Every structure is written in structure tokens, then in C-alpha cells.
Chain A
Amino acid sequence: MAKPSQSDKISWLKQPGVLAALPASLFLIIGFAGPLLLVVGYSFMPSKTFSLLQAPTFENYTSIISDSYYISFFWSLAMALTTVVLLFIICYPIAYGMARLFNRWANLVTALIAIPILISENIRLFGWVLILLKNGIFDGSMQSLFDMSISGLLFTVPAIILGLVYVYLPFTLFPLVIGISMVPEALKEAASDLGATRWQIFREIELPLSMPGLMIGGILTFVLVLGSLAEAKILGGQAIVMIADDIESSFTFAQNWPKGSALSVLLIALSGTIVFFLFKRVDLDRVIGRR
């Protein structure tokens, strides 16, 4: 490919789109790309050091592999997968309703489901603590109504899953609604007229055509759960350690920045690969702009 000449570059820069993209792009280069590169740099520094100017080494990565960190990676992946599967089952009927059935009520339902995103996650998770606590709302109601005590709900793996499902529900639901509303109703009717069964219509028409929305919802949720911290700490106590928790404690408690950086790089690489495949297969103009 020919090297662009100077005047080509200037005329490219003068496009209104480029000019409009510039402020946010520059900001994110300083505020996002910069810190990321720094983390990558630190991950190659000797363990428990705080300077970037030393001979690079792989020791952090080798020690992570030989250590038991695979357990927290496993828990994070297992939690992410469980949450996504549960959320698909919970959200599909609602998304279908919002796209097809609710009509003028759809806006109200959208608002009611979106509002909790705007309330601090900590407060909402604390609400679950109050519900699940010993002598809490659930246990207390059971005691006074049926005279039986159901304690020990808090600080368990199911409690963490409940919290994750609760927090990330809108992030699965809204892309799902967009996906389902991308399926033309006429196509389904045509298939039905030609004798297709309900299952065939779902598998051959609805599923493939709503795929972009399903993929965005599933992958967004998966990646967010992979890096989540608060749910496991507030609702899980010491039940399990997820990877973000390991990263946080190596930076703060253990004061081992290179180790924390190397763990971050692995987590970023994992989520980055998943997001990369998503972006390769989904046309954002079509999904967001309905073009």
C-alpha cells in the first residue's frame, strides 16, 4: 500500500468526523491506553518492586501459573457462565414481552428496569444482606410466620450468584430486547403459513436473526461478571475468591504491584479476546442505529 502523502493526512484530519472524534479519543489515550500500558509494563518487573526501570522478567507469570491462582480464575469463569445462562432464561420472556407484547407499557417497563442501574451497587447489595441475614427479613419472616429458622443463606456461593444475577440483569435484558425486535414479524408469519412449527420458527428465524443482540447481552454480562468484585465480597464473605479480589489484594494488602499487574494482564487478555470476537461478528451501526 502506498504511503499517504502529507496533504492526504491533512485532508483526513480536516473531516468533521475526525475533528469530533478527537477530544474523546485523546482523553481516552491519556486516561485509558496510558494506564493499560503501564500495567503491562509493571507485569514484567521483578516481584514486590515499585519502579519501572528494572530488567524485565517473566517471574510474575511463571509464579502465577505454578501457584493456585487457577482456582480464582476457575471461580470467576464458572460464576460468569452460570450468571449468563440464568440471565438468558430469566430475561428471554421479558425481552420478548418488551419487544412484542407490552406496546405502550414497554417504555414504563424499560424505565423500571433501568432505574436500579443508577442506584449505587453497594446499597442494593446491602439490601440483599439485610434480606438474607440471620434474623434478617427472610429468616425473620419465616420465624414469625412458620416458626422455623432458615439462617446461613448469607456468605454462600448461591448468595453470590443471586447478587450477580441481580446486578447484571439489565445488561443482559436490554441487548436482548434490541435483538428480538430486529426479527421482522412478517418473516415469522410467512414461515408459519408455509407450515413451520413453533420450534422451527424459533430455531431457524428468531434465534439467528436476534443473534447480534443475544451475543452483545451475553458477552457484556460475561465480561462484567469476570471482573466483578463487590458481589463476592459483600454477599460471599470468604466463601470463594474471584480473580478481581486476588488482583485487589496483591495491589493493596500484599503491596506486590508486579504480581497484581500480571494477574490484571491475564484477566484483560481473557476478556479482551472474548470482546474481540464479539466485535468481529457484530455490526454496531445495525444494532445501535437500527440501520
Chain B
Amino acid sequence: MATSRSQGLSRRLIILWTTLVIVFLYAPMVAVVLASFSKQRYFKFPIQSWTDKWYQKAFSSLSVRELLWTSLSVAALVTIISVVLAFLGALAFARYDWKGRKLYQRLILLPIFFPQAVLGLAMLLWFSAIGVTTSWQTAVFAHLVWITPIVILIMSIQVYSFDPALEEAAYDLGATRWQVLTEITLPILSPGIISGAIFAFLLSWGNFPLSLFTTGADQTIPEWLYAKMVSGYTPMVPTLGSLTLSSAAVFLLTAYIIWLAISARRRRMENR
């Protein structure tokens, strides 16, 4: 039984390695949160004295509120528009068979492979050429160019497993186009739509390279963080960093709970 013992060993090694890599992925985020509670103006480890004064400062600051509002508006608009565009786009990607589909599949994914900083600069040239002043609204446009293809890709994975016969059966039973969409297609594809929306929101919320060149006088949180980071250390960087980090975590957790509730309800409906 030498082989099974060596298999057990390699299995344990793989589990150990995976755990280490996951720790590696989260270590810097823990570091940011730790630093935000340090009392000193300059970060020094081990941390000598703890404080929450940076958070009090952040919550009472008007400019922080403005940053938050800008980031939130951009992310919310990007989510709504990209989900609509990508829902149709994913149907064309994976559901329907049509002449030109293979070409469409490749072209639509190109923005994902594109260097974001270059894309941001190209958009800046584009806006100045057509005479649009950049602001947070133009950043929404720029985010959409990069995020819509990603959401199409995520939704397509779900659409591929969708059985078109269900739609046809509904039509045969006399359902209208609208009924088929709202009672068959959308509910079945909802997991894909929800994960697409989560990605859209958080990718926009955290985006830096596109925002940097397209927000004009407005500023999102990642832009502010970068500007402060390169100009030296201030305790507000880890503080605002932790705040964005934890809001993303809360957002994900809420989405997960809603997800559990939906699937529990669906299971109850199926059991009836």
C-alpha cells in the first residue's frame, strides 16, 4: 500500500500549501486593519498603543463623505447599466446560435485583456476629442467598458447550463414573450445575474486605473488612497482603506445571506 500512503501525503501537502496561499492572500488586508488602529502618526510594528481616533476623524470629515458618495454613485450606476447590457450580451454569447457568434465572443472579451491604465488614457483622449468634460459620470462610462465584458463572461457560465427547451415548452403552452422572460428565463438565470451584479459593483468600487484618468475634478476613494500613498504615510490611508475593505465585506456577506434565503425559498417551492 505504498502508493496510497504517498497519495495521502501529497494530499496533505496540497491542503497545507493551499492554506498557506490563502493566508498569504489575506495577510496584507489584516496589516491594513491593524495599522488603522495604531496611535502613532508613523507606522511602527509591534504597535505600542491603540486608538480609534482616526476613525472618528474619518467619520466626521466632510471630504471623506464626498469621496464615499462619489465612489458609491459610480459603482451603483455601473452595476445597473452593466447588468442590463451584459444580460442580453450573455444570451448572445451562450444561448443563441447565430452567424457571427464566434467572432462576437472574441471581440466582446477584448477589453478584459486590455491594460486598464492605457484604456483609461485612451478614454481621456476620447472625451477631450468629443468635447466632454470629465467628471464622475465619464468614469461610469469608462468603468462600463471594462466591467460589461467581465459581467458577460460571468453570466455566460450560467447561460450555458440553461436548457432552451424550457422556454420552448412555455411558448407551446401559450405563454407570451414577456411571461417567458419574467417567469422562466430571469428566475433560472438569477444566480448568474446576482453574481454578475456583485462583481460589477465591487470591481467598480475598487477600481483605480480607469478612475485615475476619467474622473476629472471628482475623486473616488481608491484615487484618494493612491494620491496619499505616494506622497508619504498618513494614518488616514489605512483607516479609509479598512473602511472600504469592511464595506466590501459587509456587501458580500449581505449578498450571501440573500442568496441563502433565495435558494431556501426555491427549495421549499420545489418540495411543494
Interface residues of A (CB under 8 A from B): 12, 15-25, 27-28, 31-32, 34-36, 38-39, 42, 52, 90, 93-94, 96-97, 101-102, 109, 112-113, 115-131, 133, 135-137, 139-141, 144, 166, 169, 220, 223-224, 226-230, 233-234, 244, 247-248, 251, 257, 260-261, 264, 267-268, 271, 275, 279, 284-285, 288-291
Does any Cβ of A come within 8 Å of B24's Cβ? yes
How close is A106's CB to chain B, nearest CB, in angstroms?
10
- Let me know if B124 and A115 touch, CB within 8 A: no
| Cβ-Cβ contact count across A and B, 8 Å cutoff | 283
- Let me know if B115 and A226 touch, CB within 8 A: yes
- Let me know if B32 and A130 touch, CB within 8 A: yes
Does any Cβ of A come within 8 Å of B18's Cβ? yes
With A24-B86, A96-B14, A268-B114 as given contacts, are A279 and B252 in contact (CB-CB < 8 Å)? no
- Let me know if B225 and A35 touch, CB within 8 A: no
Q: Which of B22, B25, B45 makes the CB contact (< 8 A) with A141?
A: B45
The residues in B between 237 and 262 inclusive whose CB is less than 8 angstroms from any CB of A are 237-238, 241, 244-245, 248, 252
With A93-B14, A257-B125 as given contacts, are A144 and B108 in contact (CB-CB < 8 Å)? no
- Let me know if A24 and B98 touch, CB within 8 A: no
Q: Which residues of the other chain, A, contact B110 by a CB distance below 8 angstroms?
A: 32, 275
How close is B214's CB to chain A, nearest CB, in angstroms?
11
Q: Which of A90, A118, A248 makes the CB contact (< 8 A) with B202?
A: A118
Q: How far is the CA of A35 from the CA of B138 in the complex (A)?
A: 13
Closest 6 CB pairs between A and B? Answer: A227-B115, A127-B28, A17-B96, A140-B45, A17-B98, A120-B206
The residues in B between 86 and 117 inclusive whose CB is less than 8 angstroms from any CB of A are 86, 88-89, 91-101, 104-117
Q: Which of A15, A121, A275 makes the CB contact (< 8 A) with B208?
A: A121
Does any Cβ of A come within 8 Å of B193's Cβ? no
- Let me know if A291 and B160 touch, CB within 8 A: yes
With A94-B21, A140-B44 as given contacts, are A23 and B28 in contact (CB-CB < 8 Å)? no
How close is A74's CB to chain B, nearest CB, in angstroms?
17
Q: How far is the CA of A39 from the CA of B107 in the complex (A)?
A: 18
Q: Which residues of the other chain, B, contact A233 by a CB distance below 8 angstroms?
A: 230
Does any Cβ of A come within 8 Å of B141's Cβ? yes
Chain A's closest residue to B100 (CB) is A18
Q: How far is the CA of A106 from the CA of B244 in the complex (A)?
A: 28
Chain B's closest residue to A140 (CB) is B45
Q: Which residues of the other chain, A, contact B149 by a CB distance below 8 angstroms?
A: 28
Q: Can you list 20 A-B contacts (CB < 8 A)?
A: A17-B101, A18-B92, A20-B91, A24-B89, A24-B92, A25-B89, A38-B122, A94-B21, A101-B11, A120-B207, A122-B222, A122-B225, A140-B44, A169-B21, A220-B113, A229-B116, A230-B209, A284-B105, A285-B94, A289-B160
Main secondary structure of the interface of B (DSSP, over half): helix
With A17-B91, A28-B108, A130-B43 as given contacts, are A288 and B245 in contact (CB-CB < 8 Å)? no
Q: Which residues of the other chain, B, contact A16 by a CB distance below 8 angstroms?
A: 91, 96, 98
Does any Cβ of A come within 8 Å of B31's Cβ? yes
Q: Which residues of the other chain, A, contact B25 by a CB distance below 8 angstroms?
A: 112-113, 116, 166, 169
Q: How far is the CA of A135 from the CA of B118 in the complex (A)?
A: 35
Chain B's closest residue to A271 (CB) is B113
Q: How far is the CA of A169 from the CA of B109 in the complex (A)?
A: 20
Q: Mark B166-181, 1 if CB is under 8 A from A, else 0.
A: 0000000000000000
Q: Which of B31, B112, B117, B221 makes the CB contact (< 8 A) with A130?
A: B31
With A15-B96, A120-B205 as given contacts, are A24 and B125 in contact (CB-CB < 8 Å)? no
- Let me know if A123 and B245 touch, CB within 8 A: yes
Q: How far is the CA of A21 from the CA of B97 in the complex (A)?
A: 11
Q: Which residues of the other chain, A, contact B15 by a CB distance below 8 angstroms?
A: 97, 101
- Let me know if A118 and B225 touch, CB within 8 A: no
- Let me know if B28 and A24 touch, CB within 8 A: no
- Let me know if A118 and B252 touch, CB within 8 A: yes
Main secondary structure of the interface of A (DSSP, over half): helix
Q: How far is the CA of A169 from the CA of B199 in the complex (A)?
A: 17
- Let me know if A112 and B89 touch, CB within 8 A: no
How close is A7's CB to chain B, nearest CB, in angstroms?
15
Q: Which residues of the other chain, B, contact A129 by a CB distance below 8 angstroms?
A: 229
How close is A49's CB to chain B, nearest CB, in angstroms?
13
Q: Which residues of the other chain, B, contact A141 by a CB distance below 8 angstroms?
A: 45-46
Q: Which residues of the other chain, B, contact A38 by a CB distance below 8 angstroms?
A: 122, 125-126, 129
- Known interface pairs A21-B93, A230-B208; 14 further A-B residue pairs with C-beta atoms within 8 A, sorted by A's residue number: A17-B91, A17-B98, A18-B100, A23-B88, A24-B92, A35-B126, A38-B129, A101-B11, A126-B237, A139-B45, A247-B121, A251-B121, A285-B160, A288-B156
The residues in B between 168 and 222 inclusive whose CB is less than 8 angstroms from any CB of A are 198-199, 202-203, 205-209, 221-222
- Let me know if B100 and A35 touch, CB within 8 A: no
Q: Which of A27, A101, A118, A139 makes the CB contact (< 8 A) with B248?
A: A118
Does any Cβ of A come within 8 Å of B139's Cβ? no
Q: How far is the CA of A257 from the CA of B125 in the complex (A)?
A: 9
Chain A's closest residue to B30 (CB) is A127
How close is A169's CB to chain B, nearest CB, in angstroms?
7
How close is A274's CB to chain B, nearest CB, in angstroms?
9
Chain A's closest residue to B101 (CB) is A17
Q: Which of A93, A101, A244 makes the CB contact (< 8 A) with B118?
A: A244
